Chain A
Amino acid sequence: EPEVTQTPSHQVTQMGQEVILRCVPISNHLYFYWYRQILGQKVEFLVSFYNNEISEKSEIFDDQFSVERPDGSNFTLKIRSTKLEDSAMYFCASTVSGGAEDTQYFGPGTRLTVL
């Protein structure tokens, strides 16, 4: 069964450093999402992406965050200058069409630790 993959599984970085989290969505999917989950808390929406543009973004997704689809398969989340509070699990998800009855498939997540 096709699945969303994410790399790395764990990223440790120093505060102020840039990190890039990578995702490979399911190949025929067109809508892509990033979520984050701070340890012990709920899953929070960050951003959705379609047709090489951001569709929606939350208040969390400030100027420190950016997303990109650099080629036909990867979908990346960049944090320019990491803060301690950016430590969390980051989940990528994708759907076929982004419609109301579409299932979101989540990747296994990247655990980001900011020291």
Chain B
Amino acid sequence: GQQVMQIPQYQHVQEGEDFTTYCNSSTTLSNIQWYKQRPGGHPVFLIQLVKSGEVKKQKRLTFQFGEAKKNSSLHITATQTTDVGTYFCAGEESQGNLIFGKGTKLSVKP
């Protein structure tokens, strides 16, 4: 079945530093979605990328979808303490079933 791999597993940064998490799929994806989960919370949808090579920005967050639609990245510029949480990528399998990566847990030191 489809596998979605995500690295790194953990990232500790100083406030103000940048952060990037990478996602790779074993198969070509129709789309990729990114979620953020705060400690103790539930996954909250951030964005969906559909087109090959697509780049989308949300304030300090930049999302990229690879040309081959097999990889994706999330980059946060100048991290803040409010960015703390686990960031998951998820590829769609069929009929909306999401296959999640293991997530990257971000901690930000003030």
Contact = CB atoms under 8 A, between A and B. Distances in A.
Classify chain A: how many residues form its interface, as a range.
20 to 34
A41 B31 CA distance: 23
Nearest to A107: B42
B43 A106 contact: yes
B82 interface: no
B45 to A, nearest CB: 5
Contacts of B102: 41-42
B58 interface: no
Nearest to A98: B96
Given A43-B43, A43-B100, A56 B48 contact: no
Label chain A's interface by main secondary structure. Answer: strand
Contacts, number: 67
Interface stretch (B13-21, B62-70, B87-95): B87-95
A79 B43 CA distance: 23
A75 interface: no
Given A104-B45, A106-B43, 10 more contacts: A31-B95, A33-B96, A42-B101, A44-B100, A45-B100, A55-B95, A99-B96, A103-B48, A104-B33, A108-B42
10 contacts: A33-B97, A42-B103, A43-B103, A45-B98, A45-B99, A48-B95, A48-B97, A89-B42, A100-B96, A102-B96
